[in-house]
Amino acid sequence: MKNQDSFKIFIVEDDLWYSTMLEYTLNLNPDYQVKKFSSAKDFLAALHEKPNVVSLDYSLPDANGDELLSKIKEISPDTNVVIISGQEDVKVALNLLKKGAYDYIVKDDDTKDRLWNAIQHLRENAELKNELEVLKEEVARKYDFGKSIVGNSPAIKRVFGLMEKAAKTNITVSITGETGTGKEVAAKCIHYNSERRNKPFVAVNVAAIPKDLLESELFGHEKGAFTGAIARRIGKFEEASKGTLFLDEIGELDLSMQAKLLRALQERELTRIGSNELIKIDVRIVVATHKNLVDEVKKNNFREDLYYRLLGLPIHLPALRDRENDILLIAKYYMDLFCKENKMPVKIFSTDAKKKLLNHPFPGNIRELKSVIELASVMAEGNDILPEHLNIVTQNVLESFALKDATLKEFNIKLLQYYLDLYNSDVLRVAKKLDVGKSTIYRMIQNKELIVNKKYFDESVFN
């Protein structure tokens, strides 16, 4: 008995002997489920079963091939149709192929073999299509907001909300954040949750490509356009057609390329190097940078018009130190993942290990945390991860002050200034972190011993 997942084939043929011969031939494959019909009426009544392939006799008593092909495509558009005909009219064959028939086979001694080969190809194509759909579903699940970006802090929940808004439209998205905060992961999440999910996601790290090669990388070139151009090259814009182009480290783009990128985005068209042909582009743009582009505009390092063209929906990824207990959630996620991939028993963080993780500022953000956790998983001999297994270097903070002959007061000022910079001038947080009275910090700010961002404070603090 054949299972429900068998490849379903309908034979529509009024010649009983011929249909029986085709049915016998196709049933030699145990994976095929074959049904035969002698009239268009009976066949159409069963078309709701949505067969994978229909072998259709062109001349039936109650319908011709043209009419029946149109009805099949209307009722079951995914069903492939192979026309079997006793006539060799090329015009008729071409017309049917244009209307969507997969093949046109003339009745002769080789008909059953040609039909067998055509259906075999269709079966292989169907399997590849199913595999592709499964992969797409897996990718979509992988880049579900809550699974690819771990956390439930208020800061990351705000990011999720903005990403959902971005995924519902084609608006340009600009992602900012420190190195290691997951900007490319966020860009992929937006793409794979948008209507463009079945089209390419193409990533370009602007900083990693030499300036003299970047134009060719983005826009492509024709054969012979310059020395070494031995063949035509399709650029990343064309590769990402109808999908998403992710331009990472956009702040590193030099001014000459900024002008060319601006024109391409404004006109929605490009020209390959060495060609005069205009190529229309349909891509969704997502950019990312760890730089403050507003400052870069003020320094004349970044074009103001390009900045506003790329700004779109801004999404700022918070630093790991600003995500509260997300550090522990992410640490557990990477530990579980590493242990699973390496067939190791899952380990548990001790209370002191958790404290050590929470007290470290993680300047390298998620990338640093991942590295720390993977090493700890290897170094821990038992099931518990202890503080000594966490390779967190804190000496670099103190060494960076270069205070070999400093007084205690000078050291305290440097330490407080470091954490004020680290926590965006959040006095309460610094006070809690260092167990210092907040009034002490405010007094030092008033005395101009500490420098803070004035936009976070009332003017009275500085008077």
Domain covering 143-316 assigned CATH 3.40.50.300 in the classification: yes
DSSP string, 21-76: HHHHHHTTSTTEEEEEESSHHHHHHHGGG--SEEEEESEETTEEHHHHHHHHHHH-
Nearest one of 82, 18, 72, 17 to 49, comparing CA atoms: 72
Q: d(Cα 379, Cα 16) in Å, to the nearest integer?
A: 75
How do the domains of the chain map onto residue ranges? 7-135, 143-316, 320-392, 396-462
Could you tell me the pLDDT band of residue 132, with boundaries at 50, 70 and 90? low
Q: Which of 50-54, 175-179, 326-330, 430-434 has the lowest mean pLDDT?
A: 430-434
Instruction: Please name every residue paired with 63 in a beta bridge, in sequence order, or none if there are none.
Output: 60
pLDDT at position 382 = 87
Percent of the chain at pLDDT > 90 equals: 52
What digits encode the pLDDT tens for the residues 184-211?
A: 999 999 999 999 988 999 999 999 998 8
Residue 163's pLDDT band, with cuts at 50, 70 and 90, is very high
How confident is the model at residue 425, as a pLDDT?
Answer: 83
What's the chain's average pLDDT? 87
For residue 270, give both structure tokens.
Answer: 């490009």
So what's the pLDDT on residue 369? Answer: 94
pLDDT at 140 over 80: no
Fold agreement (143-316, 320-392): no
The CATH code that applies to domain 7-135 is 3.40.50.2300
Q: Answer whether residue 374 shows pLDDT above 90.
A: yes
Q: Which pair of tokens denotes residue 90?
A: 């090329």
- Percent share of the chain, pLDDT over 70: 90
pLDDT tens figures, 225-268: 888 888 888 999 999 999 999 999 999 999 999 999 999 999 99
**pLDDT of the residue at 290:** 92
CATH code given to domain 320-392: 1.10.8.60
Query: How much is the pLDDT for 386?
Result: 93
Q: What is the pLDDT of residue 212?
A: 87
Rounded mean pLDDT, 326-330: 94
Report whether pLDDT(174) > 60. yes
Task: State the pLDDT at residue 133.
Answer: 64
Q: How confident is the model at residue 139 (pLDDT cuts 50, 70, 90)?
A: low
Q: Summarize the confidence of residues 116-125 as an average pLDDT.
A: 90
Report whether pLDDT(178) > 60. yes
According to the model, what pLDDT value does residue 1 have?
Answer: 44
DSSP code for 12: E
Segment 66-77, tens digit of pLDDT? 888 989 988 988
Q: How far apart are CA 149 and CA 334, in angstroms?
A: 12
- Rounded CA-CA distance 361/109 in Å is 78
pLDDT tens-digit map of 275-288: 999 999 999 999 99
Residue 312: count other Cβ atoms within 10 Å of its Cβ: 18
**Is the pLDDT at 9 greater than 70, yes or no?**
yes
**For position 171, what pLDDT does the model report?**
96
Q: Residue 62: which pLDDT band, with cuts at 50, 70 and 90?
A: confident
pLDDT per residue over 376-411, tens digit each?
999 998 899 999 999 885 544 555 555 556 677 877
With vertex at residue 18, the alpha carbon angle to CA 12 and CA 24, rounded to the nearest 5 degrees, is 90
How do residues 409-456 score in pLDDT, each as one tens digit?
Answer: 877 888 888 888 777 788 888 888 888 888 889 888 888 888 887 666
Q: Provide the 3-class DSSP secondary structure of residue 104.
A: strand
